[in-house]
Structure 1
Amino acid sequence: MAREVANMNQRERLIATLNFDQTDRLPMMDFGYWEQTIEDWQKEGMPRQVENQKDVENYLSLDRCCFDTHLEVPQVNYQGAFFPLFEETIIDEDEKTVTKIDSYAVTLRESKKKNSVPKYIRFPVEKKEDFEKLKPRLDGKNPRRYPPDWSEQAKVINAREEPVGLFILGFFGHPRNLMGLENLSLAYYLQPDLVRSIAEHHVQFIFDAYERALNELEVDFVTIWEDMAYKNGPLISPSCFKEFMMPYYREVTAFLKSKGVKKILVDSDGDIKKLVPLFIEAGVDGLYPCEIQPGSDPVIIREQYPRIALLGGINKRALAAGKEAIDKELEKINILARKGGYVPMVDHRVPPDVSFENYRYYCERRREIIMNSRSWRK
């Protein structure tokens, strides 16, 4: 007979779930919401004072999500990328869009509503000399990366009942941010030394920039951001991964675990199934958001890889389709919960085509399934 588990706080519950341990229940959280989604929901009856992700979570009695660095989350207050950031410069503007050089020196055109992916025009690194010019802003030892009251902030963060996470750019995500997808794809073959130089520098940057945070915080998880796949599979081959990512991943995951980090997660959209065994070999403990439409079905991944934690995998399109589709989609929760290591979340930020009525129904049905099941109490 399963041993009963006392009530857990959000921090204890998440880590126990990711560790395939017994919990009082599964976490109930979601990846996030488009700004337009929240605006539309306000028009559909959600109170006007519910303005951001944290407000939605409180209003619907959800657990606090801690995984998306682009949203208002309880993340650590430090600069983990360019420092100082570049000053944004507006190049052109019309009624619907803005063309600018952003704080990461990328030239792009974006919607003023910020409800779609920007059109990227130019990236700061095209050759090794460009990267050398950026290095002063990628100095991990710069003490100004941490605020003067950092030690006091760390005490407050450690006392939270919410999970504590750090967020770092990965060894595809970082060079892709510097070079753009097309330029990086060519560089693997035409400028391999540049790619290696960026990766080697990034390893040392992580060691230097995160040392203090890791020493002063009780870190539950580290998210490595990649977004390195699409509907037809990974954006690089497994052989490229082994050559240009694996050695550096191993260094970083070993460093993080030596500092007491409990779980290392990778954030990648798209169909990542071909890369799962490589991530496991590299020291990664979990993957999200398990996007359904491209093919990263957590049920399939779990069958092949029984001990990697999975987060996400609830098809956002089912939420848009209505209650019957939602009920069918949520059938996977018990299937995955029985095997452990699963956090049921929408497989990306909730888009505007999901009505507030449908989302609230989804939250209620998910809660009902979770609270009525003992699948995770092994």
Structure 2
Amino acid sequence: MATTDGMTPRERYIQTLKFGKVDRIPFMPGGPRESTLKRWYGEGLPKNEPWMNVLCREIGIQPERTQQQVWHGVETKMMPVFEEKVLEHKDGHYIVQDWMGNITEISDEFDVTYIRSAKDFVTRKWHKFPVETRADFEDMKKRYNPDEPKRYPADFAERVKKMKDRDYVVSIHVSGPFWQLREWCGFEPLC
């Protein structure tokens, strides 16, 4: 579905990456965290309208309209993930093992799903990381096997066909090297 000015969001994005001519810069902000959205509602954001529509209206741009989007379903995270579990609960804090194998301490206002999904801002005290030795790294590598069948949904080929003539941008998430090494080893060993 082309926008009123003639470019689809996909065309606009590709031309921006190629330093081509575009009708406007793509506007693709990330979504708000739970506490941010709660505050916005307290400040008057209507609850009966998507926040993105309100934001676009407030800053004076047209929201991007696209055809129904199909998600590719490709999973780039480790497989299998570590078991998420509470190891200890004391003094208003949980000591947890998250899905990445980190042992961290978080406020008991939250649970491990806040670490998995980044639903809100959760300050963590780091206790232990999953990669401390070369042997740990060799074990971790096995969790990133690109040939793992579960990385692709059963209907992947069908999804790809549906996405062939799309007007929207398809994205895939892969952590950058520093971010990923921080998750495996922590900050201090990287310095």
User: What TM-score does the superposition give when structure 1 sets the normalisation length?
Assistant: 0.40
Task: Indicate yes or no: 2:88 matched with 1:88.
Answer: no
Task: Indicate yes or no: 2:150 matched with 1:150.
Answer: no
TM-aligned CA distance change 1:27 to 1:41, over 3 Å? same
TM-aligned CA distance change 1:96 to 1:166, over 3 Å? same
TM-aligned CA distance change 1:48 to 1:74, over 3 Å? farther
Kindly, what percent of the aligned residue pairs are identical? 32
Contact 1:101 1:107 in 2 (8 A): yes
Aligned with 1:127 (options 106, 120, 133): 133
**Whole-Å separation in 1 of the counterparts to 2:172 and 2:153:** 16
Tell me: higher relative CO, structure 1 or 2? Use CA pairs within 8 A at least 6 residues apart. 2
**Whole-Å separation in 2 of the counterparts to 1:35 and 1:58:** 18
Deviations for 1:302-355, whole angstroms, at most 9, x for unmatched residues? xxxxxxxxxxxxxxxxxxxxxxxxxxxxxxxxxxxxxxxxxxxxxxxxxxxxxx
Contact 1:88 1:103 in 2 (8 A): yes
**Whole-Å separation in 2 of the counterparts to 1:59 and 1:95:** 41
Deviations for 1:154-185, whole angstroms, at most 9, x for unmatched residues? 23344432211222223322222211111232
Deviations for 1:132-158, whole angstroms, at most 9, x for unmatched residues? 222332211111211111112223344
Residue type of the alignment partner of 1:60 = L
In the other structure, the counterpart of 1:36 is 35
Deviations for 1:292-311, whole angstroms, at most 9, x for unmatched residues? xxxxxxxxxxxxxxxxxxxx
Aligned with 2:52 (options 57, 76, 95): 57
Contact 1:29 1:63 in 2 (8 A): no
Contact 1:89 1:101 in 2 (8 A): yes
Aligned with 1:108 (options 104, 125, 131): 104
Summarize the alignment of residues 1-378 of structure 1 with structure 2, pairs less than 5 Å apart: 7-49=6-48, 55-61=50-56, 62-63=63-64, 76-93=72-89, 97-111=93-107, 112=110, 114-185=120-191
Residue type of the alignment partner of 1:163 = V
TM-aligned CA distance change 1:167 to 1:126, over 3 Å? same
Contact 2:45 2:51 in 1 (8 A): no
In the other structure, the counterpart of 1:375 is none
Contact 1:75 1:166 in 2 (8 A): no
Contact 2:129 2:183 in 1 (8 A): yes
Contact 2:72 2:156 in 1 (8 A): no
Structure 1 unmatched runs, 5+? 1-5, 65-72, 186-378
* Corresponding residue pairs, total: 168
Aligned-pair CA distance for 1:86: 1.5
Q: Report the secondary structure of 2:86's partner residue.
A: strand
Deviations for 1:267-301, whole angstroms, at most 9, x for unmatched residues? xxxxxxxxxxxxxxxxxxxxxxxxxxxxxxxxxxx
Structure 2 unmatched runs, 5+? 57-62, 115-119
In the other structure, the counterpart of 1:356 is none
Residue type of the alignment partner of 1:83 = M
Contact 1:158 1:164 in 2 (8 A): no
TM-aligned CA distance change 1:10 to 1:84, over 3 Å? same
Higher helix share: 1
Q: Report the secondary structure of 1:120's partner residue.
A: strand
User: What TM-score does the superposition give when structure 2 sets the normalisation length?
Assistant: 0.74
Contact 1:11 1:162 in 2 (8 A): yes
In the other structure, the counterpart of 1:344 is none
